[in-house]
Structure 1
Amino acid sequence: MIDVKAPLLRRTLLAAFISASVAAPVTGATRSAAVPAPTPAPVTPLRAATPEALAARYAASRDAIRAAERMAADHGDRWRAAMLRAMAGPERRFLSFDGRDGGRAIEVFGDLPAAEKIAVLVPGSDTSLDKYGLLRGGALRLQQALGERSAVVAWLGYRTPTLVSLSALTPGRADEAAPALRAFVRELGAAKPAARISLLCHSYGSVVCGRAAPGLDVDRLILTGSPGLTVEHAADLRTRAAVWEGRASGDWVARVPRALLAGLGFGADLVSPGFGARHFAAGDGGHSDYLKAGSLPLDNIARIISGQDPVEARRAA
């Protein structure tokens, strides 16, 4: 007698394993979407990255953050209100903000008007306002590594997949996010036409970048901790950008199977030579360690964005 339940059981167990992996091992329930926030006013397109134009965008975003802070306080969420109060500080520079449904935020680090090189960070699954500090910390460290005449933009511009969910196993959220990422990169490129723009995409964020890549006018597409891009070869991305990939030896994403049933998974392994991406050494850290202070991957990512060759091993002290 044929056991028809066995394939279904294997599929269910495999899906559960991948869901726990791709969504990232973060403890704690997501609570961002439960906190109400007002609809922000539309922002004026950034036509030039002058100090005056940027000041207007930063002020509009600060108003949106303060409105969300007041609503969070009225809702009784003191923790969220305090976090938003800090985000509205005069030293913070947001190009846009929307506190609804987990939150959207685009923050600038460094001197954008003077920047000759700009990196746009696209985060992965389970990134929200409640965990925004992780994204911000990485952006700060990267901008410090890039040095003068550089800027880093933390682009939390989409509804990221939630922890341990089927949405983290399919490109649906990436398809939703891709038009917004394309529009932002076009706006940034028009405002800073002489700057070299790179996309740095982590984990599920690399799926977003892969879906947005065709025709995208960026110099470099740098992918870390990627589960795949839903294409079989780098040439299928149809981008003029140089495509770089790096995976740390301690990153659990290496254990994610590439070919899954029922539309789950993201295709070819970027580390495979047959994929056609350029490789950079990413050390022996874990899935969230690519922008760790003083690390090999941070050094190599900064070098690539700056137009230099990455190093293959840690230099002797």
Structure 2
Amino acid sequence: MTAAVAVPLSAAARPEIPAPAPARLAPLTAATLSTAYAANRANAAEAARMAEAHGDTHRAAADRELSTPAHHFLTFDGRGPGLATEVFGDLTHADHVAVLVPGSDTTLDTYDRFRATATALQDRLTRTAPTGTRTAVIAWLGYRTPNTISTTVLTTDRADEAAPRLAEFLHELDRVTGPRTTVSLLCHSYGSVVCARAAGTLPVTDLVLVGSPGTGADSAADLHTRARVWAARGKDDWVGEVPHVRSDFFGVTVGFGTDPVSPAFGARVFAAGEGGHSDYFTPGSVSLANLARIVLGDTAEVTHG
């Protein structure tokens, strides 16, 4: 259930990868952005050196690439599977901001695939936004995602841990963006469970669920959000075959309940085309076009599924 990759990549048996603690940063504001970017690049460079010394050449190469000036991280933590929050575009002056939340199997080792979804969306926004309208996209890998082949992907445990972190980040974001900036939250696969757990506290205009196995809520109304709630699933997305049920086994709740694209859930269902589980942000796709329209506030132009 990754944001941009269908092949499960499990790190269950992988030794812990050493890295420095995250950089100590001042509270996030427009004035501290450049300092945060520089500090996190330096942290990624040190993480690369430590991974290299540990003998993990794959992670070392990934961290080294992330330390280049092309990357603008609000947060970076190279320890273990890794965490990162990256900005694409001019966040300080953006009129519209999209925050992407990935699903399972997303780590620093697979980060380039998640990053590709963010760059695809930012490219689409840049090309289609009205003249003078500025946009930014944030790739939020702010939680330890479950492995697709694991029991954790069947429960809300990881989402329950992630939801407060997502809420904290979005409230911090308010200090950077202007009062007229719209923020849309785009949640893929297991990421939609994360977004749903935090929904009632989030300062966002739109909450978008794509390739969702369910949210743990019976309906959009049960999310208790003032945001517009959208949902979509591509025709070839295998998650449509997942039973949308929620059951208790020995005190553990398994499954996520009502299908978000069903009439019973009550979301605004939009067209996602013929694509599969990893295709929602594919350049030129129906789904990407509709996601960009939602972010830009062109809701009347969204094609419905």
TM more than 0.5:
yes
| Larger deviation, residues 56-65 vs 136-145 | 56-65
Matches within 5 A, 1:135-146: 135-146=114-125
Q: TM-score, normalised by structure 1?
A: 0.87
C-alpha separation between the residues in 2 aligned to 1:138 and 1:272? 25
C-alpha separation between the residues in 1 aligned to 2:69 and 2:20? 21
2:16 is aligned to: 34
2:259 is aligned to: 269
Is the CA contact 1:301–1:310 (under 8 Å) kept in the aligned structure 2?
Answer: no
2:39 equivalent to 1:60? yes
Q: Which amino acid aligns with 1:312?
A: T
1:10 is aligned to: none
2:214 equivalent to 1:232? no
Query: 1:103 and 1:33, CA in 2 relative to 1: closer, same or farther beyond 3 A?
Result: farther
C-alpha separation between the residues in 2 aligned to 1:30 and 1:272? 34
1:285 is aligned to: 275
Q: TM-score, normalised by structure 2?
A: 0.90
Q: Which amino acid aligns with 1:184?
A: F
Distance apart, 1:194 and its partner CA: 2.5
Is the CA contact 1:243–1:278 (under 8 Å) kept in the aligned structure 2?
Answer: yes
Query: 1:265 and 1:310, CA in 2 relative to 1: closer, same or farther beyond 3 A?
Result: farther
C-alpha separation between the residues in 1 aligned to 2:88 and 2:219? 33
Q: Percent identity?
A: 52
1:12 is aligned to: none
Considering fraction of residues, name the structure with more helix: 1
Query: 1:195 and 1:68, CA in 2 relative to 1: closer, same or farther beyond 3 A?
Result: same
Query: 1:87 and 1:237, CA in 2 relative to 1: closer, same or farther beyond 3 A?
Result: same
Q: Which amino acid aligns with 1:238?
A: H
Among candidates 281, 291, 302, match of residue 301 of structure 1: 291
2:303 equivalent to 1:312? yes
Is the CA contact 1:101–1:159 (under 8 Å) kept in the aligned structure 2?
Answer: no
C-alpha separation between the residues in 1 aligned to 2:231 and 2:15? 32
C-alpha root-mean-square deviation of aligned residues, in Å?
1.9
Q: Which amino acid aligns with 2:27?
A: P
2:72 is aligned to: 93
2:109 is aligned to: 130
Q: Which amino acid aligns with 2:279?
A: D
Distance apart, 1:64 and its partner CA: 1.3
C-alpha separation between the residues in 1 aligned to 2:15 and 2:120? 28
2:130 is aligned to: none
Query: 1:27 and 1:215, CA in 2 relative to 1: closer, same or farther beyond 3 A?
Result: closer
Distance apart, 1:30 and its partner CA: 2.3
| Larger deviation, residues 96-105 vs 72-81 | 72-81
1:69 is aligned to: 48
1:208 is aligned to: 194
1:176 is aligned to: 161
Three-state SS of the structure 1 residue aligned to 2:174 is: helix
1:83 is aligned to: 62
Gaps of 5+ in 1: 1-19
> CA offsets, 1:30-70, max 9 Å, x none?
277632222223322113x24xx211110111121112111
> CA offsets, 1:80-116, max 9 Å, x none?
2122111110121000100112000000001112210
| Larger deviation, residues 141-150 vs 279-288 | 141-150
The structure with the largest alpha-carbon Rg is: 1
C-alpha separation between the residues in 2 aligned to 1:191 and 1:33? 37
> CA offsets, 1:114-154, max 9 Å, x none?
21000000000110011101110010010011115100000
1:152 is aligned to: 137
C-alpha separation between the residues in 2 aligned to 1:104 and 1:270? 28
C-alpha separation between the residues in 2 aligned to 1:28 and 1:268? 27
Three-state SS of the structure 2 residue aligned to 1:34 is: coil
| Larger deviation, residues 80-89 vs 137-146 | 80-89
Distance apart, 1:28 and its partner CA: 4.4
- Work out the number of aligned pairs and report it: 290
1:14 is aligned to: none
2:98 is aligned to: 119
Distance apart, 1:163 and its partner CA: 2.9
